[in-house]
Amino acid sequence: MIDWTPLVLTFQLALITTLILVLLGIPLAYWLAYTRHKIKPVIETLVSMPLVLPPTVLGFYLLLAFSPANAFGQWLDQWLGLRLVFSFPGLVVASVLYSLPFMVQPIQAGFANLPGSLAEAAATLGKSRTTTLLKVLLPNIKPALLTGIVLSFAHTIGEFGVVLMIGGNIPGQTRVASIAIYDEVEALNYGVANAYSLVLFAITFCILLTVYLINGGYLKRWGS
């Protein structure tokens, strides 16, 4: 019989990760789109590395960094009371880092494709950069913003290597759906593994299909 706890935990992780990425990704994408600073290529490279880096590599270094046996992990534990290794907060941190490019890159591209006259007009009217970002630029890149949100959410749902390395396989705490599928396959419980897989497949398919329909304008055409 299927245990729904890993699925609930997976969607909790995806939701929290996506919310954090919205808060971090929008200002970072804005800065990358408009800055001419010499360090920009370095930041873009670091943001993009999870796209090509094996997830176990990132998970391994996060495991080392967050371990109480190392200086940074000790500092987190003693001064902030954070134990990130083999915990749900650790999964959140790892997921934010691993899904960062899926939020930043679409939004950065959206900003870069906007005509410069929009920001210039807002500046002429005396609008601050924050007001310009929130009330002028973001409303004009809704498809890019929606794409970043959905891709980040869907990518977090499918994570395996990073969450296994940093979170382990603790039922009710870090055992997300991707790890549960792996466990069931190893135990030859293909029926349960199939049930988990079908739920994830159906939900991610519906989410991505909705994004493509919205960005392509099909929903508006059907409603007209």
pLDDT at 222: 42
Taking residues 192-206, what's their average pLDDT?
92
Owning domain of residue 92: 5-176
The number of beta carbons lying within 10 Å of the beta carbon of residue 30 is 19
What amino acid occupies position 161? Answer: G
pLDDT at 217: 57
Taking residues 54-68, what's their average pLDDT?
89
- Report the mean per-residue pLDDT for the chain: 88
Task: Tell me whether residue 223 is in a domain.
Answer: no
Residue 190 pLDDT exceeds 70: yes
Count the domains in the chain: 1
Residue 7 pLDDT exceeds 70: yes
Task: Tell me whether residue 198 is in a domain.
Answer: no
Task: Tell me whether residue 190 is in a domain.
Answer: no
The three-point CA angle 53-59-155 to 5° equals: 65
Buried b (16+ CB within 10 A) or exposed e, 190-207: eebbebbbebbeebbeee
Task: Tell me whether residue 221 is in a domain.
Answer: no
**Residue 145 belongs to domain with CATH number:** 1.10.3720.10
Does the pTM surpass 0.75? The reply is yes
* Res. 202 pLDDT band, cuts 50 70 90: very high
pLDDT tens profile 100-137 = 999 999 999 999 998 877 777 877 777 777 888 888 88
Task: Tell me whether residue 191 is in a domain.
Answer: no
pLDDT at 219: 43
Taking residues 77-104, what's their average pLDDT?
90
